[in-house]
Amino acid sequence: MSRSRGCPYTAAPGRARAVRRRARAVQRAHASQRSSIGERPVTEEKSKKQFVEDLTDQSDDFSRWYTEVVRKAQLADYSPVRGCMVIRPYGYGLWEHMQRLLDARIKATGHQNAYFPMLIPESLLQLEADHVEGFAPQCAWVTEGGSEKLEERFAIRPTSEAIIGHMYSRWIESYRDLPVLINQWSNAMRWEKVTRLFLRTAEFLWQEGHTAHASARECQEEVLRMLEVYRDFVETDLAIPVHGGPKSEAERFAGAEMTYSIEALMRDGKALQAGTSHNLGQHFAKVFDITFQDEQGKRQHVHQTSWGVSTRLIGAVVMTHGDDQGLRLPPHIAPVQAVVVPIWRKDEDRAAVTQFVGRVKEAVGERARLWVDDRDQYTPGWKYNEHEMRGVPVRLEIGPRDVANRAVMSVRRDNRAKEAIPIADLATRLPVLLEEVQRALFQSALAFREANTGYANSIEEIEAHFASKRGFVAVPWENDPALETLIKERTGATLRCVPIDQAPFEARSQGRRVALFARAY
RNA sequence: CGGGGCGUGGCGCAGCCCGGUAGCGCACCUGCUUUGGGAGCAGGGUGUCGGAGGUUCAAAUCCUCUCGCCCCGACCA
């Protein structure tokens, strides 16, 4: 038969089975005081079998769990350059699906893709004072070309407002040129002191949208439109519930008039900013001289927005859905949606199973991203663990018994529910099953967030909450920078955003608008 | 950027205190038996001990510097 070689996501050599008993024991001792918010009550009941043996439990050391799972599932690896990472095919596959789904939404809202250069002259960066103050310390600089020292050094883009502002000033003359709605998919670099795979790396991949509008009203509409695009994308395709809304002045993007974000809650109870949308007002228009003639022939500065999400979203997926057995990937972005594990004992079985697997592939066709794991050197049990660790949403076991029944045994990754699916039903049942997994992941993340959202009316109550717990705390809020600073000093929690959708808090807020506070990544 | 920890075959580690021919498990290769929750036996290959200097007859081991990773804090997307 034709072996399904060339699956880009094939696992490499397995991992050591030896459990580091001693090391684990030490870790547990150290971790026992830790907040156990990320721990599900049932985890203790692992009864007889540890399905995946060599992964640190989330409740033992969440950071360690994260790093291990990212590397063992082969999402990414460290590079020789400090703070940079190599995104491996399985991780890049996630990114490609995110790109595909988000790009479609960006285009559907009228934007076009373009590409601006990575090198930004220092003089351009310096034009906007807040902007340069925010980013200069984080810039990597190019000072030489070949063997010649450059007259002016270039920053490797930390973000592209400057270069894009420069170009827009040349492209925009009339109100008829507006709005300009451009997005770019690119890399960016920020010289970070502390880095974590995906969450904060020196170089990262992202998209950055940059738009210019004739009016402030239109500009603000764009800001909120894109925030909503992000919310919908992250909730629908990544199955991560988020709160979206404006940030405080303290958390604002360098050079922006107002910053909006979507905020997600990770399983260790820390918040993660998953996307941002900025109203840049006319700051950049003024310093880059981006003007247009309006219908009355009057010269005006444009109003601008910028918005972005990055490969950090991969980290968000890992930390929102992952459990002690490894990743749990949302089917919409899973590089492999269903893995087929063939099983046989005798040669006759093998032939029959192989033939049946071929029919299964045919039946599924393009309805799901299927991979037949027919690698000979691993046992079925080994493959089960491997694919669970890598988060494949559905496993299809096919052995002699299934061939006899003309069915496959499906097992969901999220809850291990088993179901025999007759081959005749597979084409319709599998896509539905994948949608069920997608929804279940969202629901469980939502339930987790609700269980980890508190409510506080005073600094004392906020302190009391963070003394023993993590998660979000909703606080009735009217812009109060002093209180915000106090909360940060006393609890380490920052104002994540003031949710636009206040419905989840109404029951307890008595009509008062709340802001969300949390310790954050 | 401060405090702590760790760098030894592909991975996980022992050896370091007390200097003396570099080891174990897994993985990998070959063969046979296996395959419904990380298979078994037999044989085999694998190391500039993170890097640079120093001390010494001799350094994985002692000293100095340096690079990287992890954790906790401060700072920032």
> Protein A394 CA to nucleic acid B28 C1', in Å?
30
- pLDDT tens digits along A344-402: 988 889 999 999 999 999 999 999 999 999 998 899 999 999 999 999 999 999 999 99
How many angstroms is C1' of B38 away from CA of A380? 9
Give nucleotides in strand B with any atom < 7 A to a protein C-beta: 1, 10-13, 25-29, 34-39, 67-77
Spatial separation of the C-alpha atoms in residues A141 and A156, rounded to whole Å: 6
Q: Which residue has the tokens 């279940």?
A: A440
Find the nucleotide nearest A310 (Cα to C1′). Answer: B77
With a cut of 70, say whether residue A464 has pLDDT above it: yes
Quick check: A385 CB within 7 A of strand B? yes
Section A89-93 average pLDDT: 95
pLDDT of residue A98: 98
Tell me the DSSP string of A105-152.
HHHHTT-EE----SEEEHHHHTTSHHHHHHHGGG-EEEEEETTEEEEE
pLDDT greater at residue A237 or residue A151:
A237
Q: Which nucleotide is nearest to A195 (CA to C1')?
A: B69
Which whole number is the average pLDDT over A402-408? 97
Nucleotide nearest to A202 (CA to C1'): B77
Least confident of A63-77, A289-303, A312-326: A63-77
Answer yes or no: is A48 CB < 7 A from strand B. no
pLDDT of residue A23: 31
Least confident of A66-75, A427-436, A439-448: A66-75
Q: What distance, in Å, lies between the first and last C-alpha atoms of chain A? A: 49
From CA A453, how far away is CA A472, in angstroms rounded? 5
Percent helix, strand, coil in chain A, to 5, is 40, 25, 35
A311 CB below 7 A from strand B atoms: no
Residue nearest the C1' of B74 (CA based): A492
Per-residue pLDDT tens for A3-58? Answer: 333 343 333 322 222 222 223 223 322 332 223 332 222 222 233 344 555 788 88
Pairing of strands A119-121, A148-156: antiparallel
Q: So what's the pLDDT on residue A25?
A: 28
Residue A304: is its pLDDT beyond 70? Answer: yes
Q: Which residue is nearest to nucleotide B12 (CA to C1')?
A: A16
Q: Give dist(CA A307, CA A284) in Å, integer.
A: 15
**Residue A22 CA to nucleotide B16 C1', Å?**
19
> Which residues from 265-284 of A have any strand B atom under 7 Å from their CB?
273
pLDDT tens column, A167-185: 999 999 999 999 999 999 9
Mean pLDDT of chain A: 87
Which pLDDT band holds residue A79 (cuts at 50, 70, 90)?
A: confident
Nearest nucleic acid nucleotide to A250, CA to C1' distance: B76
What's residue A28's pLDDT?
28
pLDDT in the model for residue A44:
27
A414 sits within 7 Å of strand B by its CB: no
Q: Which nucleotide is nearest to A14 (CA to C1')?
A: B27
Distance A226 CA to B56 C1' (A): 68
- Non-local CB neighbours of A35 within 8 Å, separated by 6+ positions: A269, A468, A469, A470
Whether A175 CB is under 7 Å from strand B: no
A312 is near strand B: CB distance < 7 Å = yes
> To which residue do tokens 């950090």 refer?
A312
User: Whole-number Å distance, CA A54 to C1' B61?
Assistant: 30
> b/e string for A392-420 if b means 16 or more Cβ within 10 A?
bbbbbbbbbebbeeebbbbbbbbeeeeee
pLDDT at A127: 87
Residue A125: band (very low, low, confident or very high) from pLDDT cuts 50, 70, 90? confident
Is strand B within 7 Å of residue A388 (CB)? Answer: yes
State the pTM of this model. 0.90
pLDDT of residue A51: 53
Of the given ranges (A302-311, A341-350, A407-416, A510-519), which has the lowest mean pLDDT? A341-350
pLDDT digits (tens, 9 = 90+) for A390-403: 999 999 999 999 99
Respond yes or no on whether the N-terminal peptide bond of residue A330 is cis (omega within 30° of 0): no
Residue A492: CB less than 7 A from any atom in strand B? yes
pLDDT of the residue at A53: 57
- Given this model, what pLDDT does residue A52 score? 55
Q: On the CB side of A41, how many CA atoms lie within 13 Å of its CA?
A: 2
CB A65 within 7 Å, strand B: no
> Which residue has better confidence, A141 or A392?
A392
Which helix H or strand E contains A95, and what residues bound it? helix A89-108
Nucleotide nearest to A272 (CA to C1'): B77
Mean pLDDT along residues A411-433: 97
Digit-coded pLDDT (tens) for A199-217: 999 999 999 999 999 999 9
Q: Are A342 and A398 in contact (CB under 8 A)?
A: yes
Contacts of A411 (CB under 8 A, 6+ apart): A384, A394, A395, A396, A397, A417, A418, A419
- Confidence (pLDDT) at A438: 98
